Amino acid sequence: RNVAQADASLKAGKWQRSKYVGVSLVGKTIAIMGFGKVGSEVARRAKGLGMDVIAHDPYAPVDRARAIGVDLVSFDDAISTADFISLHMPLTPSTTKIFNDETFAKMTKGVRLINVARGGVVDEEALLRALDNGTVAQAALDVFFEEPPPKDSKLVHHENVTVTPHLGASTTEAQEGVALEIAEAVIGALKGELAATAVNAPMVSAEVLPLPRTILLYLQHNAHSASV
């Protein structure tokens, strides 16, 4: 709805209703790229807004997606059919700059891109080119390859880009939740329990790999150690 641009325009003393005509979400297709905890919650809300929701995540259980009316599709099918693309994937060697010139070329012209995942999954120069040639109509970015981004960043200052300074979890409730999680993790460690979110034992949902918890964490720890 161009709220940020319209807000700035009105505060500058202008009244430009026709300039900031938006698009409806009802009936549009949104592709959720990364169907974990956050991605699935975004999907639920998008369904509530009347959107058709598809998702791509090679590790997400099909049954969990179907339970909320979401079809899991291939990466190319997701990006080539969506009107909106919302990113919720982790930054890994395989996802670094996965959104590049090649992937933007496969998208529907006029797509809207939302990145609240990690800045590194998007090639920012490629995104700038996609904005300039109209492939991407608008982008909303909460994360960047370099944080904070350079003050002279062309992407940050692009008229069709709305930016925020990595505010994804910046709510009072979310910060309280993080504090509780930390306290619970410390208590668990002092009791000698397994640290499921340790940096040398990446968390994998039991839905993804239904192994006994002890075996799963042991394998994760040793796989990490062997690769260092």
pLDDT at 214 over 80: no
Q: Which residue has the higher pLDDT, 152 or 174?
A: 152
Enclosing H/E stretch for 161: strand 161-163
> Residue 219: its pLDDT value, please?
55
CATH number of 3-163: 3.40.50.720
**Contact at 8 Å (CB) between 89 and 117?**
yes
Catalytic residue annotation: 118, 147, 166
Kindly report, residue by residue over 107-116, the tens digit of the pLDDT. Answer: 999 999 999 9
Kindly report, residue by residue over 29-67, the tens digit of the pLDDT. Answer: 999 999 999 999 999 999 999 999 999 999 999 999 999
Least confident of 28-37, 103-112, 165-174: 165-174
- How do beta strands 84-87 and 111-115 pair? parallel
228 band by pLDDT with thresholds 50, 70 and 90 = very low
Paired with 162 in beta bridges are 140
> Residue 185: its pLDDT value, please?
87
Give CA–CA dist 40/192, Å, rounded: 32
Could you tell me the two tokens for 24?
């409806």
Distance (Å) of CA 100 to CA 90, 96, 140, 187: 16, 10, 16, 43
In terms of Cβ atoms closer than 10 Å to its own Cβ (0-12, 13-18, 19+), residue 219 is middle
Q: Where are the domains of the chain?
A: 3-163, 172-227
> Residue 188: its pLDDT value, please?
86
